[in-house]
């Protein structure tokens, strides 16, 4: 298990949650927000943070139009600041060599979360 659901990465430490034997880290930044001068540019590495960053809540989804399926648009938190990962990992140690599954939501270029 991860001690207190905390892991350390290049930018700092993250505190996730334990859910049914799985450790979950939500809203983990993988790049700087693509806003201001970074809009329409290649992603830049995320800034480091001090202390332990809570990784317990989903972050915003990319700004998109509601197409009549799924959740109501008014209930979705949308923002250009949307370059975050959600990570689920078995409750084993961080040094364990485990396979990784990456899922890219297609959405037919119409929508995505």
pTM above 0.75, yes or no: yes
pLDDT tens, residue by residue, 50-106: 999 999 999 998 887 766 666 565 567 889 999 999 999 886 666 778 887 887 766
Give the Cα separation of 34 and 29 in Å (integer).
12
Place of tokens 């983990």: 28
**Distance between CA 89 and CA 91 in Å, rounded?**
6
């Amino acid at each position: 298990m991860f001690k207190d659901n905390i892991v350390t990465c290049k930018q700092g430490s993250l505190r996730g949650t334990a859910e049914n034997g799985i450790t979950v880290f939500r809203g983990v930044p993988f790049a700087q927000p693509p806003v201001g001068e970074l809009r329409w540019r290649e992603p830049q590495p995320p800034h480091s943070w001090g202390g332990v960053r809570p990784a317990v809540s989903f972050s915003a989804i990319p700004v998109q139009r509601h197409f009549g399926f799924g959740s109501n648009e008014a209930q979705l938190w949308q923002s250009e600041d949307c370059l975050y990962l959600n990570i689920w990992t078995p409750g084993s140690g961080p040094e364990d060599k485990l396979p990784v599954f990456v899922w890219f939501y297609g959405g037919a270029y119409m929508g995505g979360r």
